[in-house]
């Protein structure tokens, strides 16, 4: 079972993800704009999602000593 700082960091990542993917902040990306031909809203969702997965992988692969 995870203990110490890893658990705290995972909980913080979860809460940060909930905040980023909730209405008030998510409404910032609902504009009529495109990034390389992709609408801004789906592109922002994908970038946030991929960033959270990258941070999660980094947290799980680092040694806690």
Give the pLDDT confidence score for residue 54 in this predicted structure.
97
Q: Has this prediction a pTM greater than 0.95?
A: no
Give the pLDDT confidence score for residue 65 in this predicted structure.
58
Region of residue 30 (phi > 0: left; psi between -120 and 50: alpha; otherwise: beta): beta
Structural domain boundaries, residue 27: 5-61
Count of domains observed in the chain = 1
Give the pLDDT confidence score for residue 1 in this predicted structure.
56
d(CA 61, CA 56) in angstroms, rounded, equals: 9
pLDDT at residue 5 greater than cutoff 60: yes
SS3 of residue 35 by DSSP: strand
Tell me which range, 2-6, 14-18, 23-27, is most confidently predicted by mean pLDDT: 14-18
């Amino acid at each position: 079972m995870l203990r110490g700082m890893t658990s705290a960091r995972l909980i913080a990542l979860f809460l940060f993800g909930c905040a980023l993917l909730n209405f008030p902040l998510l409404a910032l990306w609902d504009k009529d704009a495109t990034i390389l031909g992709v609408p801004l809203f789906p592109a922002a969702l994908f970038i946030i999602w991929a960033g959270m997965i990258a941070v999660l992988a980094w947290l799980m692969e680092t040694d806690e000593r």
